[in-house]
Structure 1
Amino acid sequence: MTGRSLAGQLLVAAPSLAEGPFARSVVVLLDHDEDGALGVIVNRPTEVDVADVLPDWQPLATGPGVVFQGGPVALDSALALAAVPGTEEPPGLRRVVGGLGLVDLDAEPALLAPRLGRLRVFAGYAGWSPGQLEEEVASGAWYVVAAEPGDVFSDAPAGLWRRVLRRQPGDLALLSTYPEDPSLN
């Protein structure tokens, strides 16, 4: 890793990532250090209700109340992110950056509920080995942009890729109009 940690930042897939799990994805980075990087895709809701896999957490899940596909790695595992007001780090939660925390899904939901804001559950994650993410960013596969408070818990995740790009300065804002299939243009 060179430079500062990108934890808490968004990775927005470039239009060149047109196929596969990262096509038009928005990833929030949870960890980024000399060991590599880890994040979750925040704009891929599935059809699976949180109640079907983690029924005790369903009452805390932010709408649409479904599990999101967090990435192509370990799709049989789950992790949850929550908005955490204040500066306290209650047991069962690891603050990632600012008001964003990683929830221990083995913790008792009723004990954490009063200390959490919004909550989203993800199946799997995205991971990069040391230096891999930096190479992908340098090659133009990803745009690194600041996250806004509502991005991770967006009520309209399907349009997040366009919205995040649209609010960027210069040429990045223009990419928000890039067609999904350029051959139809």
Structure 2
Amino acid sequence: TSQLIKPENIRFFVGYSGWSEGQLLDELTYGSWVVAEMDTNYLFKSKPEDLWQQIMGNKGDTYSVIAQMPDGANWN
């Protein structure tokens, strides 16, 4: 039988983030966040443990270098 949705195409994301009024806009303006273009492959084809490195690498330039950094700075 044909399935419209396969189990490997389903992911659940759970969490909560909260900001006071204007806080997120201030953080974006200050440059506290890295903003990336959305790609559905990130959601459905990437392994969660590889996602951050993949997105940062795809941004190029300095972000590609940051993507190669170890989890702990003292692991160099």
| TM-score over 0.5 for the pair | yes
Segments of 4+ moved more than 6 angstroms: none
Q: 1:147 aligns with which of 38, 52, 60?
A: 38
User: What does residue 58 of structure 2 align with?
Assistant: 167
Counterpart code for 2:42: D
Question: Residue 177 in 1 paired to residue 68 in 2?
Answer: yes
> 1:155 & 1:184 partners in 2: Cα distance?
25
> What CA distance in whole angstroms lies between the structure 2 residues aligned with 1:153 and 1:183?
32
CA apart distance, 1:177: 0.9
| 1:132 pairs with one of 8, 11, 23 | 23
Q: Output the TM-score relative to the length of structure 2.
A: 0.70
Shift of 1:180: 1.1
Counting only pairs closer than 5 Å after superposition, residues 70-109 of structure 1 correspond to structure 2 as none
Residue deviations 1:87-116 (CA, integer Å, cap 9, x gap): xxxxxxxxxxxxxxxxxxxxxxxxxxxxxx
In terms of fraction of residues, the more strand-rich structure is 1
Q: Which has the higher contact order (CA 8 A, sep 6+)?
A: 1
- Write 1 or 2 for the structure with the bigger share of helix: 2
Specify whether residues 125 and 119 from structure 1 end up closer, same or farther in structure 2 by C-alpha distance, changes over 3 A only: farther
What SS does structure 2 have at the residue aligned with 1:134? helix
What one-letter code is carried by the residue in structure 1 that aligns with 2:13?
F
Size of the aligned set, in residue pairs, is 72
